[in-house]
């Protein structure tokens, strides 16, 4: 699997890069962004995967979140994938919340999506292999995301108990089976049988989770226009409470759904992950 | 002069806002962005004007530079204007370095530009009045910018010795009369008589400056693809040296012309301005 470098910028003494590659899982060309801290050639750092929200590419987080300063200090590689398969030959939909830019980090089973929409396998299998083969890492991984990507981060961590040291999210869709964004996407990608949706729903997964617990941090702005209809983080927090799960939900007064919100707290998320990436045995 | 609020986001405890207003100087509707630190309603803070580069609007700096965290800590209001007059009725050019998005912070005298292209007066006269009337400030001002906006910041400060406590720039066009970007724009906006260009050329202005000196900080990436042909900060630095002017030019090894470069050093620029905004009598 070969990478083609599209961009490289010095950033806080490290490298902000962008690559494209042919994805066999998604059957199309994909791009991803990566931040490599100073001295990454000689120091093997852990990785934080960042999953972005609806309409985003791999560039929103790298240009807007201001995460590089803290990643440079803490020694964390940031890997930022795109949010769906892409290209003229890839199925799409005119709406912003289905098709390209809205992969929902699942493996689609329904036409016309099932050929390319396998973001679950891409993020958890193909991309980590590609990163490990091409960059110097210490093998430790955590995962974070925003909105649809917050759903992706929590869900992927709950599905892969031994893979991630910690998970965090900004304004995640925690219960996609029960909200309009998730119901629309899951019906299209997975069909009408809602039992097929459970494997991608963090609330369902947490309820029935039996493996080793891992720490979860969620930040949610109280002025987020999607909070009451699409996000509902308290549903997940209540399940966590019943299960005595180490989940911290912070309601951030006055913050909205934008990258200004993410930028304001990304340093605390990176510190949270650094603690668990570095303390894990 | 009334402001219409377009956006408002909580950011590091302060407010990142965007406004539109009718500009009498530019004879068109304009937008600007502003960052108001925490407690700006009760604390009167100083202002840093940020002038952006070619093709930018008022949004590039506010979304990509990561300046809000430091502005919140230091108590500095950031005012981020657009880079030219805008609109269907405003003269334009298909190239990226002339017309809308490329105002060069001058007052045009030539057709078809002279009706709207008065960014010099807009930035130094109309906008500061608008800000003072609508926001709580302590009256102290400094100015900074990038590339074309670095030219604007240095030039405007040299033209208004009593207005700004300090000036700084990332990769500024310091000698526009002698480089392709400046020659193209000045010929169009000001005509072929190059003596008319001198009033907007920082190298010329510094050479003949007789007023009270003010501190200047310039950061220039050594991997900037525009460095040798368009920017040439050493020309200004040499004049400063002859005049014993407090100008610091820092060559930042490996950095390019992008916002990743700006983000890496914006904290140091804000600290530089905070020092002079707060120590000025």
Give the domain ranges of chain A.
Answer: 4-279
pLDDT number for residue A280: 55
CB of A208 closer than 8 Å to CB of A178:
no
CB of B168 closer than 8 Å to CB of B272:
yes
Q: How far apart are the first and last CA of chain B?
A: 30
pLDDT number for residue B280: 55
Shortest distance, CA A89 to any CA of chain B (angstroms): 32
CATH among 3.40.50.10860, 3.40.50.880, 2.40.110.10, 3.40.50.1820 for A4-279: 3.40.50.1820
Interface of B with A in 194-253 (CB under 8 A): 221, 223
| CA distances (Å), origin A66, targets A9, A12, B60 | 14, 11, 13
Write the ipTM.
Answer: 0.94
The dihedral sign for the CA sequence B85, B90, B96, B102? negative
**pTM exceeds 0.80 for this model:** yes
Query: CB distance from A33 to chain B under 8 Å?
Result: no
pLDDT (average), residues B170-195: 98
Cα B119 to chain centroid distance, Å, stands at: 11
CB contact under 8 A, A66 and B66: yes
Mutate to test the interface with A, among B62, B258, B260 (most CBs of A within 10 A): B260
- pLDDT tens, residue by residue, B255-271: 999 999 999 999 999 99
CB contact under 8 A, B256 and A9: yes
| CA distances (Å), origin B146, targets A9, A15, B61, B63, B143 | 17, 21, 10, 15, 11
Task: Give the number of other CB atoms < 10 A from CB of residue A162.
Answer: 8
Closest chain A residue by Cα to residue B257: A9
Q: What is the DSSP string of A119-142?
A: HHHIIIIIHHHHHHHHS-EEEEEE
CB of B28 closer than 8 Å to CB of B66:
no
Per the structure block, which two tokens stand in for A165? 């040291």
Tens-digit pLDDT profile for chain A (281 aa)? 699 999 999 999 999 999 999 999 999 999 999 999 999 999 999 999 999 999 999 999 999 999 999 999 999 999 999 999 999 999 999 999 999 999 999 999 999 999 999 999 999 999 999 999 999 999 999 999 999 999 999 999 999 989 999 999 999 999 999 999 999 999 999 999 999 999 999 999 999 999 999 999 999 999 999 999 999 999 999 999 999 999 999 999 999 999 999 999 999 999 999 999 998 55
Nearest Cα residue to B197 out of B86, B90, B105, B124: B105
Backbone angles phi, psi at B149, to 5 degrees: -75, -25
Which of A64, A69, A254 is closest, CB to CB, to B63?
A: A64
Shortest distance, CA B120 to any CA of chain A (angstroms): 30
- pLDDT tens, residue by residue, B124-155: 999 999 999 999 999 999 999 999 999 999 99
What amino acid positions of B are annotated as catalytic residues? 147, 224, 257
Cα A30 to chain centroid distance, Å, stands at: 16
Scan for tokens 């502003």, then name that residue: B34
Query: CB distance from B13 to chain A under 8 Å?
Result: yes
Tell me the C-alpha distance between B80 and B133, whole Å.
16
Tell me the C-alpha distance between B193 and B43, whole Å.
48
- B250: helix, coil or strand? strand
């Amino acid at each position: 699997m070969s990478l083609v470098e599209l961009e490289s910028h010095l950033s806080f003494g490290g490298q902000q890069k962008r690559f494209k590659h042919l994805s066999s899982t998604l059957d199309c060309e994909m791009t991803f962004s990566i931040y490599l801290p100073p001295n990454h050639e000689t120091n093997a750092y852990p990785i934080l995967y960042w999953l972005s929200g609806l309409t985003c590419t791999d560039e929103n987080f790298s240009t807007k979140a201001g995460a590089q300063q803290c990643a440079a200090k803490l020694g964390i590689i940031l890997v930022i994938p795109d949010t769906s398969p892409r290209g003229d030959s890839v199925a799409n939909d005119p709406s912003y919340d289905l098709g390209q830019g809205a992969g929902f980090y699942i493996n689609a089973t329904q036409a016309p999506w099932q050929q390319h929409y396998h973001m679950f396998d891409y993020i958890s299998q193909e991309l980590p292999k590609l990163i490990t083969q091409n960059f110097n890492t210490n093998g430790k991984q955590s995962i974070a995301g925003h909105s649809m990507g917050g759903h992706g981060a929590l869900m992927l961590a709950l599905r892969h108990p031994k893979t991630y040291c910690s998970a965090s999210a900004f304004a995640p869709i925690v219960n996609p089976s029960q909200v309009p964004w998730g119901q629309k996407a899951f019906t299209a990608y997975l069909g009408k049988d809602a039992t097929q949706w459970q494997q991608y729903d963090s609330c369902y997964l947490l309820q029935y989770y039996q493996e080793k617990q891992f720490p979860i941090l969620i930040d949610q702005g109280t002025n987020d226009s999607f909070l009451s209809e699409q996000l509902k983080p308290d549903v997940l927090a209540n399940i966590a409470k019943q299960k005595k799960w180490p989940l911290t939900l912070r309601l951030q007064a006055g913050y909205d759904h934008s990258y200004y919100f993410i930028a304001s707290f990304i340093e605390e998320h990176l510190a949270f992950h650094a603690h668990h990436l570095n303390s894990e045995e």
